[in-house]
Amino acid sequence: MSENILTYFEQIKAQGLSIDITRGKPDSYQLDLANDLLSMNVEPFDGKVDLRNYGEPLGIEDARVLGAELLSAPADHVITGEQSSLMLTYQMILSKYLFANPVPWRDIETPKFICPVPGFDRHFRMLEDFGIEMIAIPLIEDGVDLDALLDALQNNSNVVGIICVPRHSNPSGEVYSDDNINKLFEIGKKYSEDFLFLFDHAYLVHDFLPTKNQIPVWKLAEQNKTTNQTVVVTSFSKVTFGGGGLSFMAAADENLSLIKRIRGSMVICPDKVNQKRHTKFFKDSNAVKNHMKKHADLVRPKFEIAYQALEKLDKDIGEYSRPTGGYFITFTSHKPIASKIVELCKEAGVLLTPAGATHPYGNDPKNNTLRIAPTFINEKELEIAMDVFVTATQIAHSQA
């Protein structure tokens, strides 16, 4: 390694930077796109429902219809919740844990879940909360590695489900092919008719470059006769406001009853005023898609800045994803240096998502996967953060 790079790194450190690229959040210009929601008046009573009072535990009708359009599921199979799809997912897992038929997961000896990797740390945390053992299988370009899935199922009993992010997977950006999802259904259904297919469609409408078309997951579930085993969630957290949007879930049969039951113990009804504001803001799913084009124009340049920096890295150091949507770039080093890169970046005042966060139990066996979240900070800060990342990576590689 040249002395120059170490000297340069010392100079960066002396600047006392404080930049956080740990989480995939919209920047304030993106949030501004939905500012009309802040001052939007809604009629409190539409002749049927008083938005201000308790009632409509599954969400107001037009919000359910909007969710149904987005998820391509019948409206009576869709519920609209509060702002967090992660909470709906948690509630679904909790209800399976307590009440699933014929055997609640809590009565199964070491229930297990398939987790495609790299994946989303909060999914792993949630499953860990329930003591559900996680089995990691790799993602490949068009979805999950089906051979690895088959292998995992052949070698494990009591696998109760899989959790997938089928479009712009967090963090590596895979967009599952229809064929991959069809095979997933085929394999899971054969393994057990109680196997749960949990699809977290957090990035359903978050393309920033042309992206391959997908048949909606719910439609594929209908074709495969697996709607009774399928749950799909999405939200407006990165469409309108994080913490102030809406969440949606499509489910059928026992799963629909279970989510109603568990939510009935927790929330008497969701925030219907906010639901009405959103359905006034978005008349239909096309309005959502048009709105997301404006997000795309703000997000795309951030990714381009990140690539300009990453291109400076020699090919033998590692590779990075080039997603067509979503919020993340995944960097994969050839040497086991992910934790060292994070440590060096931290010394220089740039916070990255911890190494290992992309894998169950925080354990990335190759210590080579890192998630970069370029959207939240401004372009100048991003250039600086990426320069730190590239420099830290070069140092970590040469010292390993």
Instruction: Tell which residue, 200, 118, 204, has the closest CA to residue 163.
Output: 200
* Site map (CB under 6 A) of ligand PLP, residues 90-129, x = contact: ------------------------------x---------
Spatial distance between the Cα atoms of 88 and 247, rounded to a whole number of angstroms: 8
| Minimum gap (Å) between residue 247 Cβ and ligand PLP | 5
Residues within window 259-298 making contact with ligand PLP, judged by CB under 6 A: none
Candidates 30, 85, 230, 367: give the one binding ligand PLP (CB under 6 A).
Answer: 85
By beta-carbon proximity to ligand PLP, the closer residue of 236 and 389 is 236
| HSE of 400, CA atoms in CB hemisphere, 13 A | 18
Neighbours of 36 (CB within 10 A): 12
| HSE of 263, CA atoms in CB hemisphere, 13 A | 24
| 375 counts as binding ligand PLP under rule CB under 6 A | no
- In this chain, which stretch among 81-89, 275-283, 355-363, 383-391 interacts with ligand PLP, using CB under 6 A? 81-89
Residue 21 near residue 350, CB atoms below 8 Å: yes
Residues within window 167-226 making contact with ligand PLP, judged by CB under 6 A: 170, 200, 202
| Minimum gap (Å) between residue 235 Cβ and ligand PLP | 3
Residues within window 143-162 making contact with ligand PLP, judged by CB under 6 A: none
Instruction: Give the DSSP letter of residue 161.
Output: E
- In this chain, which stretch among 3-11, 58-66, 78-86, 386-394 interacts with ligand PLP, using CB under 6 A? 78-86
| 247 counts as binding ligand PLP under rule CB under 6 A | yes
- In this chain, which stretch among 79-87, 188-196, 208-216, 356-364 interacts with ligand PLP, using CB under 6 A? 79-87
Residue 167 near residue 176, CB atoms below 8 Å: yes
| 237 counts as binding ligand PLP under rule CB under 6 A | yes
Residue 209 near residue 250, CB atoms below 8 Å: no
Residue 208 near residue 24, CB atoms below 8 Å: no
Distances (CA, A) of 134 to 124, 125, 260, 338, 371: 8, 10, 26, 22, 20
Spatial distance between the Cα atoms of 37 and 323, rounded to a whole number of angstroms: 30
By beta-carbon proximity to ligand PLP, the closer residue of 9 and 208 is 208
By beta-carbon proximity to ligand PLP, the closer residue of 181 and 313 is 181
| 323 counts as binding ligand PLP under rule CB under 6 A | no
Cα(first)–Cα(last) distance of the chain, in Å?
A: 11
Kind and range of the H or E run holding 351 = strand 350-352
Candidates 84, 224, 255, 275: give the one binding ligand PLP (CB under 6 A).
Answer: 84
| Minimum gap (Å) between residue 334 Cβ and ligand PLP | 26
* Site map (CB under 6 A) of ligand PLP, residues 4-33, x = contact: --------------------x---------
Site size toward ligand PLP, by CB under 6 A:
12
Buried b (16+ CB within 10 A) or exposed e, 144-177: bbbebbeebbeeeeebbbbbbbbbbbbbbbbbbb
By beta-carbon proximity to ligand PLP, the closer residue of 85 and 391 is 85
| 320 counts as binding ligand PLP under rule CB under 6 A | no
| Minimum gap (Å) between residue 400 Cβ and ligand PLP | 30
Neighbours of 301 (CB within 10 A): 13
Spatial distance between the Cα atoms of 51 and 370, rounded to a whole number of angstroms: 44
By beta-carbon proximity to ligand PLP, the closer residue of 247 and 330 is 247
**Sites of contact with ligand PLP (CB under 6 A):** 24, 84-86, 120, 165, 170, 200, 202, 235, 237, 247
